[in-house]
Amino acid sequence: MMPARLVAEFIFLAALWGASFLFTRQAALELGPVATAWLRVAVASVVLWPVLVLGGAWPAFRRHAGRILFVGLINAGLPFGLFAYAVLSISTGLAAILNATVPLFGAVVAWWWLGDRPGRWRALGLALGFAGVALLSWNKATFKPGGTGWAVLACLAATILYALAASYTQKYLRGIPPLATAAGSQFGAALGLLAPALLTWPATPVTWGAWAAVLAAGVLCTALAYLLYFRLIEAAGPARTLTVTFLIPVFALAYGALLLQEPITPWMVGCGAVILAGVALATGFIDPAHWLRRHRPATLP
């Protein structure tokens, strides 16, 4: 069992990342998706850069700057922009549930790219998880006028980018201090989105509420969350820390219902449960083979 302090930090991390969908929506309504994503990573870069230098990770970043900057674009800049676009059309809770499919796509990409072939139970988890996505999106992904099909596809495209970034990091950035990757990737995302953000900058004045939302997304849900995430990886291990995926939709659904009056339907909850069950199997968080070995009846001599 994790110590109570680490459990509290784990829940806090889930609460921060769950809130990112809420803050992103509030900012994107006025700033637009691209400017929102750029401001989020730019703010995070400003916060994390002194930590990078003072933490002694600057030499590692300088040696691997090109790859770190690239992974920032596919692991932060583009996905943040896609989710900012999506939450303008779908609920923040639905976006968070779709975001929970990252480990599913991560397993598929690792299989295709790194040769990490999933076993029988993990393959079953992949099938179950993608079935849950199909059921959840079946009556949502309509491409008729006013439909949300493109928003659902944007969420899924973002999760695929996260999965590609994870395998890219494992293949090319292994052994690099996490702080160098965390801070440097936000800077890379900010550089990559700078020109598109300037081209799509809103022509009308932006309210203080939108500025506060994007500032919260950058400082709390990105910079602070990344530092907390890597701290938990060091203290509790990556396998335990990655299970934060299961809690993020819970917080996002609660925020959306309480603050935005977004409906939570039984169908959404049921499909979300199917997706999370698939994620649990696909990531090895639930291992039926291990349970069966432990509870196998003793053979007679």
SS (H, E, C) 92-151: HHHHHHHHCCHHHHHHHHHHHHHCCCCCHHHHHHHHHHHHHHHHHHHCCCCCCCCCCHHH
Segment (H or E) for 195: helix 178-199
**Are the beta carbons of 96 and 253 closer than 8 angstroms?**
yes
Q: How far is CA 82 from the centre of its chain?
A: 12
For the chain, the first-to-last Cα distance in angstroms comes to 37
Q: Which residue has the higher pLDDT, 53 or 134?
A: 53
Average pLDDT over residues 45-65: 93
What are 178-187's pLDDT values in tens digits?
A: 889 889 999 9
Q: How far is CA 227 from the centre of its chain?
A: 15
What are 233-255's pLDDT values in tens digits?
A: 767 766 566 667 778 898 999 99
Its pTM surpasses 0.85 = yes
Residue identified by tokens 């072939």 is 117
Q: What is the mean pLDDT of the chain?
A: 86
Among residues 63, 62, 171, which one has the least CA distance to residue 116? Answer: 171
Distances 203 to 130, 200, 239, 281 between C-alpha atoms, Å: 40, 9, 45, 47
Percent of the chain with pLDDT over 90: 48
